[in-house]
């Protein structure tokens, strides 16, 4: 078993910058990490923090330095994959000391955490919002599944293979979810897929494989399926997720804002 803290979409920027002229994501991330640290005794031991992309908003080296500094405050092993806002080479430079990060090529990796194999897949297509899995990543997935032995497998990628109904997000989704499903179908058992990108919690199935997305650290998107829904962001709800990979273990959302209490019944 393994306990994973799933964080996504930090959207860090260079100092003094705001995302969309409004969001101070550096400050928000600092608050997020402070909140998590304060709750860590209640949350319990964590084996790894999995960050599913959009670590930076602007791709700058400064933004990665800020994000890395904040993430390190959790004091837990980091697993990171890029999202559409990231830039692969500054991303690689910021995390090059992590054992999973290859010195060149796509940022695909395998990490065995206890009896759980986490497979990170790089869906970043630089210069566009939508993502895609290249043949290289799909063969990496095949090898990672073939060598997984008795381990449970989790696949982590930025762009979820789901439609949310939010049109401006579905327009920049994963281009080839069927290729992912075909790759996973060769495995004997369902594989859990964790993603980010959509700044909210969405559950679904890719064939027989369960998919769930984490909320973002910095913003959310209104759930509005109308064709003329405004494209834009909300300041919340924000949060992250916690996964116990053991059989019968839970996936739960950890919202960053929660109510007062607990009060006695």
Quick note: the x/- pattern for Fe ion over 139-168, rule CB under 5 A, is ------------------------------
Minimum separation from the CB atom of position 131 to Fe ion (A)? 11
* The two three-digit tokens of residue 42, written as one number: 């209640």
Minimum separation from the CB atom of position 57 to Fe ion (A)? 8
User: What is the C-alpha separation between 8 and 34, in angstroms, rounded?
Assistant: 16
CB 223 within 8 A of CB 206: no
Largest CA distance in the chain: 57
Q: Of residues 195-224, which lie at the interface with Fe ion (CB under 5 A)?
A: none
* Of 3, 9, 56, 78, the one binding Fe ion by CB under 5 A: 9
Instruction: Return the number of the residue (9 or 122) whose C-beta is nearest Fe ion.
Output: 9
Instruction: Return the number of the residue (83 or 183) whose C-beta is nearest Fe ion.
Output: 83
Buried b (16+ CB within 10 A) or exposed e, 40-61: eeeeeebbbbbbbbbbbbbbbe
Phi, psi (rounded to 5 degrees) for 145: -70, -45
The alpha helices in the chain, defined as continuous H runs, are 25-43, 61-72, 88-95, 135-146, 167-170, 177-185
User: What is the C-alpha separation between 241 and 264, in angstroms, rounded?
Assistant: 26
Instruction: Return the number of the residue (11 or 117) whose C-beta is nearest Fe ion.
Output: 11
207: three-class secondary structure by DSSP:
coil
Minimum separation from the CB atom of position 216 to Fe ion (A)? 6
User: What is the C-alpha separation between 119 and 117, in angstroms, rounded?
Assistant: 6
Minimum separation from the CB atom of position 38 to Fe ion (A)? 25
User: What is the C-alpha separation between 112 and 116, in angstroms, rounded?
Assistant: 6
Minimum separation from the CB atom of position 200 to Fe ion (A)? 11
Instruction: Return the number of the residue (116 or 238) whose C-beta is nearest Fe ion.
Output: 238
Quick note: the x/- pattern for Fe ion over 37-66, rule CB under 5 A, is -----------------x------------
User: By rule CB under 5 A, what count of residues binds Fe ion?
Assistant: 2
Minimum separation from the CB atom of position 158 to Fe ion (A)? 8
CB atoms near residue 200 (< 10 Å)? 24
7-15, 90-98, 185-193, 221-229 -> range binding Fe ion (CB under 5 A): 7-15
1-9, 12-20, 97-105, 237-245 -> range binding Fe ion (CB under 5 A): 1-9
User: What is the C-alpha separation between 78 and 15, in angstroms, rounded?
Assistant: 23
Q: Where do contacts with Fe ion occur on this chain (CB under 5 A)? A: 9, 54
């Amino acid at each position: 078993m393994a306990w994973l803290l799933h964080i996504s979409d930090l959207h860090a920027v260079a100092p003094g910058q705001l995302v969309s002229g409004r969001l101070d994501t550096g400050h928000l991330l600092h608050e997020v990490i402070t909140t998590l640290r304060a709750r860590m005794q209640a949350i319990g031991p964590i084996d790894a923090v999995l960050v599913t992309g959009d670590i930076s908003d602007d791709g700058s080296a400064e933004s990665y330095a800020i994000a890395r500094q904040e993430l390190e405050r959790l004091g837990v092993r980091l697993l990171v994959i890029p999202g559409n806002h990231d830039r692969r080479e500054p991303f690689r430079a910021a995390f090059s000391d992590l054992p999973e990060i290859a010195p060149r090529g796509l940022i695909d990796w395998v990490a065995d955490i206890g009896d759980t194999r986490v497979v990170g897949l790089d869906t970043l297509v630089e210069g566009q919002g939508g993502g895609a899995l290249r043949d290289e990543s799909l063969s990496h997935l095949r090898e990672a599944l073939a060598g997984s032995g008795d381990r449970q497998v989790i696949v982590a990628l930025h762009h979820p293979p789901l439609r949310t109904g939010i049109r401006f997000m579905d327009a920049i989704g994963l281009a080839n979810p069927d290729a992912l499903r075909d790759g996973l179908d060769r495995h004997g058992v369902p594989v859990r897929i964790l993603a980010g990108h959509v700044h909210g919690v969405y559950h679904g199935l890719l064939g027989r494989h369960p998919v769930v997305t984490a909320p973002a650290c910095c913003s959310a998107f209104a759930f509005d399926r109308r064709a003329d829904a405004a494209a834009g962001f909300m300041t919340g709800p924000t949060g992250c997720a916690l996964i116990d990979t053991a059989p019968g273990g839970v996936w739960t959302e950890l919202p960053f804002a929660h109510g007062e209490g607990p009060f006695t019944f």
